[in-house]
Amino acid sequence: MPVFGIGTWRMGESNRDRNGELDAIRHALDLGYPMIDTAEMYGDGGAEEIVGEAIKSRKERPFIVSKVYPHNATRTGTIAACERSLKRMGLERIDLYLLHWRGGSRLEDTFEAFHRLKAAGKIGDFGVSNFDTDDMEDAARVDKGENGANQVLYCLSRRGPEFDLIPWMEKRAIPLMAYSPLDQGGLLGKSALKKLAVEAGCTTAQLALAWLLARPGVVAIPKSSTRERVKENLGAVDVKLTPQILAELDKAFPPPKTKQSLQML
C-alpha cells in the first residue's frame, strides 16, 4: 500500500461541486498520486462515482481503498455493498476494503464476507476503520490474519493513538491510515506550525503531512478539491524534517501521557 494518497470524504454530495472535485482527483493522478481513498458513505456513493470517472481510461490506475457501512456489514450485505462499489467505480477489484466503523454486525460475519470477496478476487485485502485498541484486539481474536490497515483520525493536534493503539499496531505490522491529517484545516492556522514551516522551508500543510509521513507504518490521505492544494499536499513527500524540528513539534503538540479514547469525525 502506498504511504500517500488523496481522500474523498465529503465529495460527491453536490452536483454543483462535482466538476471541481473530479478535476482535483484527475490532477492528483496526473501529478502521480498513487492512491485514492473513498467509501460508499461519501455522498451516498457519489464520491465513488467521481473516482470511477477520474480513473476511467487511464493506463495505470491508482491503489483504491473503499469502505463498507456498518449497517451493510453482514455476511451477505458486505458482499452486496462491495459489488455496488465496484460497479460505481467501474472496477473489477478494490485493493483495500475496510469496515468503516464498528456497528451492530458481528465481526465474524463481516470478516467471513471479506475472505469470500478476497478469494473471489473482488478485493485485494481488507481491514477496519475507527477501531480503538480494544476493538483491534477483538478483531485479532476473530481473525488473526487481519492486518490490512486501520484508518483513524490522527494528526499533530490529535495524537491520542500514540499512547496504546499505534504501539499495538506496530507490533503486528498493521498500517495506520491517518484521515483528516490536517484536522480539517484546523492545523493550518497554528502559529507554532507556521513558524516551524518557515524553518523547514515548506508550507504549514506540508509540514503537518511530512510529520505523519516520517512516522513508520503511517499513511496520509489528505482530501483536497482544488488543483493548488492537491499540488501543495504532494510536496510534503519531499520534505525532510530535522531532529530539531521534530523536537519542536513535540513541544508545540505534545504526545499523550495517558490513554485517550479514539476520536472520530
Amino acid (one-letter) located at 244: Q
From the candidates 33, 42, 97, 179, give the one annotated as an active-site residue. 42
Whole-number Å distance between alpha carbons of 175 and 219: 7
Q: 10 Å Cβ neighbour count for 20?
A: 12
Which of these, 28, 47, 31, lies nearest to 39 by C-alpha position?
47
39 bridge partner residues: none
Whole-number Å distance between alpha carbons of 136 and 204: 32
Residue 179 bears catalytic tag: no
Crossing angle (nearest 10°) for helices 75-89 and 46-55: 40
Amino acid (one-letter) located at 32: G
Give the N- to C-terminal CA distance of the chain in Å, as an integer.
Answer: 24
> Where would I find the beta strands (DSSP E) of the chain?
6-7, 35-37, 63-68, 94-99, 123-129, 150-153, 176-179, 218-220
- Give me the active site residues, please: 42
